Amino acid sequence: MTEITLEKVKENLYSRPHPSLTPIDIEAKAPIIHEILNLKARHNVVILGHNYMEPLIFNLSASEEQGDSLGLSRYAATTEADYIIFNGVLFMAETAKVLSPNKRIFIADKEAGCSLADDFDVGEIDKLREQHPGAPVMIYINSYALAKAKCDVCCTSANAMKIALAMPGDKIIFVPDILFAENIEQDLKGVKEVIYPGKDSDTKGAVCEVHEKFTLDDLFAVRKSFEMPKGHPTRRIYAHWECKPEVLREADFYGSTSQIGRDIAERVAAGKLERAFVASECELTSNLTAEFPGVEFYTACSVRCQWMAKMTLEGVLKILRGIDQGADLSEYEVLLEEEIIEKAKKPIELMMQFV
């Protein structure tokens, strides 16, 4: 194995344009990144990085190890590596464990939750099934394995529409994200009925505490402040599926985090993107800014996911040192009961057939 030098690490960091990354940060963090990258290579560890990771953490992952929930699940299912460190949130690391039960999966902080997964009670699934007998239950990947284990099929924001359409019958139950459900409901109007918690029943769903913050008025203000009128050929507002329906209708494009990135890449290649506002977690825009330096990006950095932000370089380094020294890593290792793995595997594997 060829050693990655500290100079090479610094050169790499300095070459990536990022407005909030100063030489002070680079000099302070480069030695930690240097140690992480060498331990990663020595032990053949995969470091999966969600698109919401802050740039220094995001770039611990090779480009094929970066992505949205769907891309990362796919990678976790096929990698040959014995160890996966998940830089994301707990439900994502759990999904990796379900797909690769024989691998050791680690996360720098097991408290990295998600309001969608944490605020949803699995008992609501039984109630909805009772109210709508025979309707298949599709569960958003932003949920714990225990909840997935009770459902028919899983989906991410990248494939929910496709899967909802493909499931049998004229009705589909979707849990737990109420705003995402309302968005799917609008797009499937006249084609398929979408049932979700709280719709005509006393069941309770959840929302993404980050995306629910964006309002229609915010988007109007952005259009005005940054001179981005609707329909402009090179200035676009992007929104994630978890935003409110009126926000999605106002946006010029909506999709998963990677779908947003792909639309930007296509427009940049065609010379059709000069300015963009992204209604999603702030660090997605940080990474897009580094990838597409020719585009003027705007976002709201008061909108950060507190759970994604729990991932730190120091946490990742502790895991790698532990692997290196054969130390007890129970604080970081994601473990699930075999029975839950078996049950949660079915809806996740069914989802994988659609991608």
Residues 90-119 that bind ligand 13P (CB under 6 A): none
* Stretch (H or E) spanning 140: strand 137-140
The one of ligand SF4, ligand 13P, none whose footprint includes residue 256, by CB under 5 to 8 A per kind, is: ligand 13P
Cα 275 from Cα 226, distance rounded (Å): 9
* Binding of residue 257 to ligand 13P (CB under 6 A): yes
Which amino acid does the sequence have at 133? P
Residue nearer to ligand 13P on the CB measure, 142 or 286 = 142
- Confirm or reject binding of residue 203 to ligand 13P (CB under 6 A): no
Residue type, 42: R
Which of 66, 73, 203, 256 forms a contact with ligand 13P (CB under 6 A)?
256
Binding mask 42-61 for ligand 13P (x = CB under 6 A): ---------x----------
Tell whether residue 115 is a contact of ligand SF4 (CB under 6 A): yes
DSSP collapsed to 3 states, 53-97 = CCHHHHCCCCHHHEECHHHHHHHHHHCCCCEEEEECCHHHHHHHH
Any contact of residue 210 with ligand SF4 (CB under 6 A)?
yes
Adjacency order of strands within the sheet including 153-155: 153-155, 137-140, 171-175, 193-195
From residue 167 to residue 206, the character string flagging contacts with ligand SF4 as x (rule: CB under 6 A) and all else as - is ----------------------------------------
Partner whose footprint covers residue 307, from ligand SF4, ligand 13P, none (CB < 5 to 8 Å by kind): ligand SF4
Stretch that binds ligand SF4, among 38-46, 111-119, 182-190, 229-237 (CB under 6 A): 111-119
Binding site partner of 156, from ligand 13P, ligand SF4, none, Cβ cut-off 5-8 A by kind: ligand 13P
DSSP conformation class of 4: P
Residue 185's binding partner out of ligand 13P, ligand SF4, none, with CB under 5 to 8 Å set by partner kind: none
Q: Is 242 or 283 the residue whose CB approaches ligand 13P more closely?
A: 242
x-marked contacts with ligand 13P along 121-160 as a string, rule CB under 6 A: ---------------------x-------------xx---
* Residue 305 is a binding residue for ligand SF4 (CB under 6 A): yes
Give me the helices (H) in 202-325, please.
216-225, 245-250, 257-269, 282-291, 313-325
* 73 counts as binding ligand 13P under rule CB under 6 A: no
Are the CB atoms for 311 and 108 separated by under 8 Å? yes
108 binds ligand SF4 (CB under 6 A): no
Helical (H) or strand (E) element with 235: strand 235-240
| Integer Cα distance of 228 and 275 in angstroms | 8
Nearest to 136 by CA among 179, 105, 102, 175: 175
The phi, psi pair for 174, rounded to 5°, reads: -125, 125
Using the rule CB under 6 A, is 114 a contact of ligand SF4? yes
- Asked whether 295 and 268 are in contact (CB, 8 A), the reply is yes
Residue 21 binds ligand 13P, judged by CB under 6 A: no
Inter-residue contact 52 to 281 (CB < 8 Å): yes
Q: How far is the CB of 325 from ligand 13P (least distance, A)?
A: 33
115 binds, among ligand 13P, ligand SF4, none (CB under 5 to 8 A by kind): ligand SF4
Q: Strands 153-155, 171-175: parallel, antiparallel or unpaired by DSSP?
A: unpaired
Phi, psi for residue 255 in degrees, rounded to 5:
180, -170
> What CA–CA distance (Å, rounded) separates 100 from 111?
21
Least Å distance between CB 237 and ligand 13P? 17
| Contacts to ligand SF4 by CB under 6 A | 89, 114-116, 142, 208-210, 242, 281, 305, 307-308
Binding residues for ligand 13P, rule: CB under 6 A, are: 51, 68-69, 142, 156-157, 208, 240, 242, 256-257
